[in-house]
Homo-oligomer: A and B are copies of this chain.
């Protein structure tokens, strides 16, 4: 829908589509690795292996490219996690998701933080349109987490409000990632997620007795 950041004509040949995708992917990587302002259009040009006015052939301006990157990262995050997110309807599934998140950060040496959250923080107060795009990405992510908890709740395995818990889990993840990124250690992420998941477990019938 609002993906129509394209310049005017909607006609894109196969080659054009591929070039556009390469530009977005390169821009996403550079923005992830150094922030939005750090990613020069010339850097993007080079990294994508395109030259000259290519970028302006596919995007009206840097803002349009940024919006495309936000959507791209949202898709990437959700696609990558989908197999795990589908399993979030049990304590074991939640714990496994936690482990993967932590392990991934360790692998990345805590660099980059959250692809969506980092972008969001940078645009929040200076770019309303981009802020809304990030907000909508977060809503989708939150919904994916909520689905599992709602299922548990419906099966009578979980007390408490699934909506609130989903939001709290996402918040813990974001806060944990931010602190991990800044301090360059995974511990903040570990304890942040462990505390929320412990709390979720304490609200299950299994966890009730054995804390």
Contact = CB atoms under 8 A, between A and B. Distances in A.
Interface of A: 33-35, 37-38, 111-113, 117-118, 120-122, 124-126, 131, 134-135, 138-139, 164-165, 167-168, 170-176, 178-179, 181-184, 187-189, 191-192, 194-196, 198-199, 202, 211
Contact of A173 (B135, B175, B191): B175
| Residues of A contacting B: mostly | helix
A126 B31 CA distance: 10
Count identical subunits in the complex: 2
A35 B113 CA distance: 18
A175 B183 contact: no
A124 B202 CA distance: 35
Contacts of A38: 125-126
Nearest to A36: B37
* Nearest 7 A/B pairs, CB to CB: A175-B175, A171-B192, A171-B175, A174-B175, A121-B121, A168-B195, A164-B191
Contacts of A35: 122, 125-126
Given A113-B124, A168-B172, 9 more contacts: A35-B125, A120-B181, A121-B122, A135-B183, A167-B192, A170-B179, A172-B172, A195-B196, A195-B199
